[in-house]
Amino acid sequence: MSTPSLTPHSARIGGILLISLVGVAYGGTYLLQLVTGSPGQTDVQLAFARAGHAHAGVLLILGLVCLLLADAVGSRGPWGLVARLGVPVAAILMPLGFFTSVAGAGTTEPNALVALVWIGGLCLAAGVLTLGVQLLRAGWTATPGVDTPRPGAAASGQSRSTTETT
């Protein structure tokens, strides 16, 4: 059984994402202050802070998974870039839009920076659709019996070959 390896691009992006998770964890302390009754926060600011924090954490983790999958299918070129960066860019833009669009004392509705949430959503869609298509293509172009493990072979390290007799 071979061990998965990361391309240098995925390794760098993954390192950045993991380090960014520290920021998300620190942001949780800000959210905790809001939830426990920080004075001066409106309901809209509290709702957007919750959404921003949740999107940041979930999308960073999804971004790490997408890096592994993109490398597993050998994603290259411009489409490989979209597959690798779509979700991580969304993980930056969407929370940024949630937090900055309601910044300021007494804000009761988001400002124009809420557009970052929509732009991030487009990046997310582009990344997961591109990678999803690449995964489907890789599954359909696999050679049955050569590229697929035999049931139970994962534990023994054996794979099926086309010359094998049954």
pTM of the model: 0.79
**Does 120 fall in a domain?**
yes
The C-alpha angle with vertex 100 and arms to 99 and 105, in degrees rounded to 5, equals 90
CA 159 and chain centroid, separation: 31
Which domain covers residue 21, as residue numbers? 8-139
- 3-state class (DSSP) for residue 24: helix
Task: Residue 93: give its domain's CATH number.
Answer: 1.20.120
The C-alpha angle with vertex 57 and arms to 51 and 59, in degrees rounded to 5, equals 90
Q: What is the pLDDT of residues 18-52, one digit of tens each?
A: 999 998 988 888 888 877 876 778 889 889 999 99
Q: What is the pLDDT of residues 68-98, one digit of tens each?
A: 999 999 999 999 999 999 999 999 999 999 9
